[in-house]
Amino acid sequence: MLFSLRSYSREMTRALPLQLRFKRHIFLSMPTELTRRQRKVVDSLYKELNRRRLFARTVGVTDFGGKSPLTQVKRSMEKCHGALILGLVQGRSRIGSNKTETKKGIPLPDSPSPTPWNQLEAGIAYAMGLPMMIVKEPGISGGVFDIGAAGDQFVHALEVTNSRTWRSDELKSSLDEWRDEVVQHARATRPKSKSTHARKADGRGRKSANSRRM
């Protein structure tokens, strides 16, 4: 049975004022159609992000707009300090092949695939220099989910049969390390406030301009 994240986007939107309590926004790349097990895993992930004072933004769940989806993704990421790429199975090819009709062609007897938006959103996040964490269900491969495809990013395995998978030592430690990178990115890109001297100078300049107008 599939669950649509859009079905409870109203609930998420109602909770948006709470995001003011969160200092760090991150982009969560994931499909909007989930199985029952995947939904439980995603709910557990939200709890882990909340514990780390991170607010997840996802186009079609928390962020909406009248522009093209890619434009909206970029706008959303501009407000974020990290990206979590969550590769969940969306389809399976029971009979297929890779690099068909080439010398390197190989059969693919059972090939699970994620949403193609994982690849697009990961590419945008990488180009923007956002700290990334990549997690996938077993069997998913290709593009950003291949080891080394996104630089030195480690690709973590996710067991959707266990709703407490985010509480494993590996994922807890990785989430903490990634959170620290998110915080560092936020501090490094934070607009610098003007010094007291600069504010006084601006005030004198405005007073002088006003006196010339009189």
What would the DSSP string read from start to end of 113-156?
Answer: E--THHHHHHHHHHHTT--EEEEE-TT--SGGGSTTTTTTPPEE
Q: What is the CATH number of the domain that holds 65?
A: 3.40.50.450
The count of domains in the chain is: 1
The tens digit of pLDDT for each residue in 93-112 reads 666 656 666 776 666 666 78
End-to-end CA distance of the chain: 73
Note down the domain range covering 201.
2-213
- Among 181, 73, 67, 68, which Cα is nearest to 132's? 181
Sign of the CA dihedral with 121 first, then 49, 179, and 139 last = negative
Q: Could you read off the pLDDT of 46-87 as tens digits, one per residue? A: 999 999 999 999 998 888 888 888 999 999 999 999 999 999
Which band of pLDDT confidence, cut at 50, 70 and 90, is reported for residue 154? confident
The answer, yes or no, to whether residue 29 has pLDDT greater than 90, is: yes
CA distance 69 to 131: 22
| 185, 81 contact by CB (below 8 A) | yes
